[in-house]
Structure 1
Amino acid sequence: MATRTHAREMVIELLYAYSLGNDNIFKFVDELMKNRKIRNAQADFAKGLFNGVIENLSTIDKAIKSTLKSWDFDRLGIIDKCILRLGVYEILYSNTDTPIIINEAIEISKILGDDNTPKFINGVLDAVNKNASNKDKNEQN
């Protein structure tokens, strides 16, 4: 049975294909999930994440860019961008607890990234979370 982690891994794969210019990936989402045995609630969860990232891509990328100090967004690896985009989407738009989001992103980055990716992902997502929290506090005042 697929877990939310499996669903998130699938979303990273879909975002990767989309980032490489495969705009037709939307036609194959159901088939790809079926092949990975991601069904029912987990499939709905994955589709919601994928569609949410794509619909909010400019806002997500802006949030990532605002936290990069000595990195050029355009020079980030595609996998790193995909993991960050998913994590930032969840931080900004979901009700999932932020530590869970960041931990999932780190664990996925250990599988898909290089040795430095988990630390980088952690730092960027933590900064995005702090920026979002500060923005929320400022809007409440």
Structure 2
Amino acid sequence: MATRTQARESVIGLLYAYDLGNEGIAKFVDEILEDKKIRNKQKEFALKLFNGTVENIEKIDEELISHLKQGNITDIGSVEKSILRLAIYEILDGLDKAIVINEAIELSKKLASDGAPKFINGLLDKVQKA
């Protein structure tokens, strides 16, 4: 059985594809999650995260942009942006902030660039304090 971490990792992949302009990815979410063996409660969790993030992407991006010290949202790599968007959605949705931030950092260590964990930690810390 898949874990919540695996569900989040799959959602980050979906958000990454969405960010790169593949907005039609939403039509294939079920098949993609099935291929990754994300089923039952974890599938429901992943669908809620993906759909919630996409539906609230403007609000999430506003929150993200408001905490950037310098630069623009376009300066953030797509993987890092996908991790941040998911984490911000979860924080705004009321999930445990410490767990959300820890998961985002761990996933960034696995999926993103070397400097990403520190950047993501700093930005999400500002979001959760706001």
Report TM bin, short chain: over 0.9
Match of 1:119 in 2: 118
Cα distance between partner residues in 1 of 2:89 and 2:105: 15
Q: How much does 1:48 deviate?
A: 0.3
Matched letter for residue 36 of structure 2: R
Q: How much does 1:71 deviate?
A: 2.9
Matches within 5 A, 1:27-106: 27-94=27-94, 96-106=95-105
Q: TM-score, normalised by structure 2?
A: 0.97
Matched letter for residue 102 of structure 1: I
Cα distance between partner residues in 2 of 1:35 and 1:29: 10
Residue 23 (1) aligns with residue 16 (2):
no
Q: TM-score, normalised by structure 1?
A: 0.90
**Runs of 4+ off more than 6 Å:** none
Gaps of 5+ in 2: none
Match of 2:2 in 1: 2
| Superposed CA RMSD | 0.8
Identity, % of aligned positions: 57
Pick the structure with greater CA Rg: 1
Gaps of 5+ in 1: 132-141
